[in-house]
Structure 1
Amino acid sequence: MTWSEAEYLDCLRTERRGYAWAMRHHGGLTPAEAAAAALERYPYEPDDAPYRGLIFHDEAWHWAMLAIHGNRYVVEHPELVEPPPEYRDLK
C-alpha cells in the first residue's frame, strides 16, 4: 500500500491508541505502561522501510489480545474475537 506520510502517521496514532486502550482495559496495564507497550508494538518505520506498515494488516485489538491471552485467544476467549463498542468508539 502506498500512503502519504500524514496518512501513515494518522494510522500509527490510531493503532497505538487502540492498542493502549486494550492493554489498559483488558491487560491491566497502567496508562503509562500501556502507552509504552503501544510505542513498542507500533514503532515508527521510515518511509523507505521495506515492509513499512505491514503490522496494520490486523487491527490493534487483535495484536493486544495476542499479547494478553496468547495465540489461542480466539478459541479460549471467543467473546474477545470482536472488540467492544468502547474500543470501536476510539476510531
Structure 2
Amino acid sequence: MADDWTEDEYVEYLHGERRSFAWVMQRYGSFTPAEAEAAALKHYPYEASDAPFRGLIFHDLSWHWAMLAIHGGSYWVEHPELVNPSPEYEALD
C-alpha cells in the first residue's frame, strides 16, 4: 500500500477488498452472505494508520486470499482454472 494514501483512500480500498473477498466466498465457497461478510471482516481487519506493515494484505487480490481460504495452499495446482480471477470478479469494481 502506498504510504501517501489518505485515511479515506485506505478505508475505501479496505471495504472494496472485503466486498470482493465476500463475493468469492459466496460464489466459490458456498458461504451464506452472513458467513462471507464475517470471513471478510476477519481476513481484512481495520489497521490503524501507525500499524507496522499496514495494508500489506493488499499485495495480492482478494481473489487469491479467498481461494486460499476455500481450497488451501496449492489451490493453483489442484484448480488451475482458478489461478486467474473470473470475469465476474473483475467486473465487481
* TM-score exceeds 0.5: yes
Runs of 4+ in 1 over 6 A off after TM superposition: none
The structural deviation recorded for 1:83 is: 1.1
Q: Which residue of 1 aligns with 2:27?
A: 25
The structural deviation recorded for 1:40 is: 0.2
Q: Which residue of 2 aligns with 1:45?
A: 47
Partner of residue 54 from structure 1, selected from 56, 67, 80: 56
Q: Which residue of 2 aligns with 1:16?
A: 18
| Aligned-pair identity (%) | 64
Q: TM-score, normalised by structure 1?
A: 0.97
Q: Which residue of 2 aligns with 1:35?
A: 37
Q: Distance in 2 between matches of 1:89 and 1:9?
A: 20
Q: Distance in 1 between matches of 2:61 and 2:19?
A: 11
Q: Which residue of 2 aligns with 1:85?
A: 87
RMSD over aligned Cα, in angstroms?
A: 0.6
Q: Secondary structure at the residue paired with 1:66?
A: helix
Instruction: Say how many residue pairs are matched.
Output: 91
The structural deviation recorded for 1:67 is: 0.4
The structural deviation recorded for 1:44 is: 0.3
Q: Which residue of 2 aligns with 1:70?
A: 72
The structural deviation recorded for 1:68 is: 0.4
Deviation per CA, 1:29-62: give whole Å up to 9, x if none: 0000000000000000000001100000001000
Q: Which runs of 5+ in 2 are unaligned?
A: none
Q: Which residue of 1 aligns with 2:6?
A: 4
